[in-house]
Chain A
Amino acid sequence: EAQVTQNPRYLITVTGKKLTVTCSQNMNHEYMSWYRQDPGLGLRQIYYSMNVEVTDKGDVPEGYKVSRKEKRNFPLILESPSPNQTSLYFCASSFRQGQNYGYTFGSGTRLTVV
């Protein structure tokens, strides 16, 4: 089944403890991206990747890191999480950006930082 898989679905962690949220797609998509969703703010883009080894900042990149060493995976890294990073996170992918392929989203990761 074609899908974007995010793990974990739920995570509670403490301030300052490094964590990684994984994102993997099995559709050979070139484009992948990360978003956070907060009440009243919609989805805001954190980082995106147009292809392997190519990443760029979105609207809210502070406090996050990403890497794209292989096409299928695009992990989101929080080196030192803080409570203001408590949010619902989504990963999405598309066959090729800049064309009308639409986007496939993962099921989301609910992160709580205490």
Chain B
Amino acid sequence: AQTVTQSQPEMSVQEAETVTLSCTYDTSESDYYLFWYKQPPSRQMILVIRQEAYKQQNATENRFSVNFQKAAKSFSLKISDSQLGDAAMYFCMQTGTYGGSQGNLIFGKGTKLSVKP
């Protein structure tokens, strides 16, 4: 079975500093997609960044970037210049591309990020 593991239930960062959230996953597929979603207290799920497994280049979206290590099945999220608005629950998610797992979305248990002023 596919699994996604976020080993840090809670993290804290000082405003303007950099923080990295960890995510590892387990899949037998060679092609898949990985996502980070943010859930602020409003509980809305907001897409932060996405990565295609067949692309070696790490995805970047403004202050957010990932370190994708396919062989190690690792997909960490780096937030640079942290802002108070970054405080939220962050979920790592993996989905397949074909076959029986195509419809499955597998989420990690989440990392709660606090930002200190």
Is B truly associated with A?
yes
Q: Which residues of A contact B102 (CB under 8 A)?
A: 50, 97-98
Chain A residue with Cβ nearest B102: A98
Q: Which residue of A lies closest to B32 (CB)?
A: A98
B109: min CB distance to chain A, Å: 4
When distances are taken between beta carbons in the complex, the residues of chain A under 8 Å from B45 are 90, 92, 103, 105
Residues of A contacting B104 in the complex (Cβ-Cβ under 8 angstroms):
45, 48, 58-59
Do A98 and B96 touch (CB < 8 A)? yes
Residue A43, interface by CB 8 Å: yes
Q: Is the CB of A41 within 8 A of B109?
A: yes
Residue from B52, B96, B103, B110 within 8 A of A50 (CB atoms):
B103
Is B35 at the interface (CB under 8 A from chain A)?
A: yes
> Can you show 22 pairs from A to B with CB atoms below 8 A apart?
A35-B107, A42-B6, A42-B107, A42-B109, A42-B110, A45-B104, A45-B105, A45-B106, A48-B103, A48-B105, A50-B103, A58-B103, A90-B45, A92-B45, A97-B103, A98-B98, A100-B33, A100-B52, A103-B47, A105-B44, A105-B45, A107-B44
Instruction: Please state if B44 and A44 are interface contacts (CB–CB under 8 Å).
Output: no
User: Contacts of B96 on A, CB cut-off 8 Å?
Assistant: 98
Contacts of A98 in B (CB 8 A): 96-98, 102
| Cβ proximity bits A70-99 to B, threshold 8 Å, 1 near / 0 not | 000000000000000000101010000111
**Cross-chain contact B43 with A88 (CB below 8 angstroms):** yes
Contact at B33–A40, with CB atoms within 8 Å? Answer: no
Tell me how far the C-beta of B35 lies from the nearest C-beta in chain A, rounded to whole angstroms.
7
A62: CB under 8 A from chain B? no
Binary per-residue interface labels of chain A (100-113) against chain B in the complex, 1 for a CB within 8 Å, 0 otherwise: 10110101100000
Residues 34-53 of A contacting B (Cβ, < 8 Å): 35, 40-45, 48-50
Report yes or no: B35 in contact with A102, Cβ–Cβ below 8 A: yes
- 0/1 interface trace, chain B 72-86, chain A, CB 8 Å (1 if under): 000000000000000
